[in-house]
A and B are shown apart, each in its own frame.
Chain A
Amino acid sequence: MSTHEPVVRVEGVSKIFPRGNVVALQDIDLTLAPQEFVSLIGPSGCGKSTLLRVIGDLIDPTAGTVTINGKPARQARSDHDYGIVFQDAVLFEWRTVSKNIALPLELLGWDRARRKARVEEMLELVELQQFGDHHPWQLSGGMQQRVAIARAFAFEPALLLMDEPFGALDEMTRERLNLELLAIWQHLASTVVFVTHSISEAVFLSTRVVVMSPRPGRIAGLVEIDLPSPRTAETREEPRFFELVTQVRELLRLRGEHLLPEEEQLLREAAE
């Protein structure tokens, strides 16, 4: 992978959902450099999840193009260039934790020995070594998400798409998983697109925060996060952290308007 060629290039992407004529995204331009950690943040209905899915070629844009590693999004998907994590873990109930992590590897045709080795690596990475033979329902929500993350990183994709992966967890688990995620990110030198509702999470994790606003969905502003790396639990207590959080919050308040409940509902339905 070349060093300065953008990993993700979003150009003029618009998405209109026919039902309700909802303009979920309008003319989005965004470029991601390698190894960036970019958060998408905004109120409900600003299109952040939609944008994530357009990047992942899970939704077709109405206009505009998405290029990943120089390829069109569709090809990037068939070439398995990215991994994805959803808000709920989306594990397969009928597979053990190990087999869940192994799923993409099976699909990629890895042989058994290689799969086994990689699964063990990933279990260590997310600190679930004892739980390989457990079934998903035997694990807590936080543990399930760690399995989902292990699965997403299992084949070491260069790009990771994450849709509010920690949204359903309590704050303490969230903060712990944030640190784990950063460690994995740096260890594997991936690029991450991270959708979140939480301003402090966005600032804590990212190198850059993209603030979006709804009606229609568009980019309201960008905030470069110049906090030192690697981030630690103490980073949340630094003055610069609060400044950045405030900056993002102001941007949200000024540009992020609030939707009427009916519009929110329409957007939510359209996104499903």
Chain B
Amino acid sequence: MTNASVRRAAGRSLAVLALLAALLVFWEVYRWVWTSAGWTWPFVVTDTSMPHVWTIAKAFGQPAQVNQPPLITVLLHKALFTAKEAAVGFALGAVIGFTLGVALVHSRTLQRGFLPYIVASQTIPILAIAPMVVVWVNPKLPSNLQGWGAVAVIAAYLTFFPVVINTLRGLQSADARALDLMRTYAASRWTVLWKLRVPTSLPYVFSALRIAATACVVGAIIGELPSGLQSGLGGAIINFNQYYSIEPQELWATNIVAAALGIIFFVTVVAAEKVIVHRAPEVPT
């Protein structure tokens, strides 16, 4: 890493820390102003609706239930579980999406036939069909994959869409003159695909993978909700939601961990892109 990039990374981390600190300060200030003034819009501020920052922080170190490890440990385990579902869903969705993109690029007819449904598929609220997916997929899986395997499928469902669309766009974005050049080499479609189209499509594919990184985490959490899986963050959310009026800080702690998970996935994909493509990510359009 060059000096300049180290400095930039340091600067950026500082900016993030500053932003987080500002957020915490803003939180407490907002609390104080709203409770002092007694405002009820947009919502009433109490210790339950907006716990103090330090209450939430303390909650991390304490067990949620008697004779259990501290909350942070529990949450980390659950986060890992959800991360596993998300990662598998990501891989699955990315592979399926990419394959579909490759399959569609060679035929405008196929595109016109299937694209509308690929787009429409995203309007189906996955939460609504999640229970059915779970019931359908689980019996088909070996027992060690059951439960979380279905959730991974749901995560894949949210992932494959941006990957298909962007893979298609990327594969189609090859310069017309470059295609002509390949024609002069009498290159087969397969050769053109792998030597020209795919390399050209990489920025687009990575742009989609960045979206997918978020989508798979969302999909995993949502998928866990109807599955009744206790081992993941989704289960924790439902659990702590029930105890919210008594111990609000636990749900907040869970959400913070969930947020961190989403961001970690995203940052990982960005970092991977830098390594694989040897340059900064393109601005996605």
A–B in direct contact per CB < 8 Å = no
Q: Which residues of chain A have a CB within 8 Å of any CB of chain B?
A: none
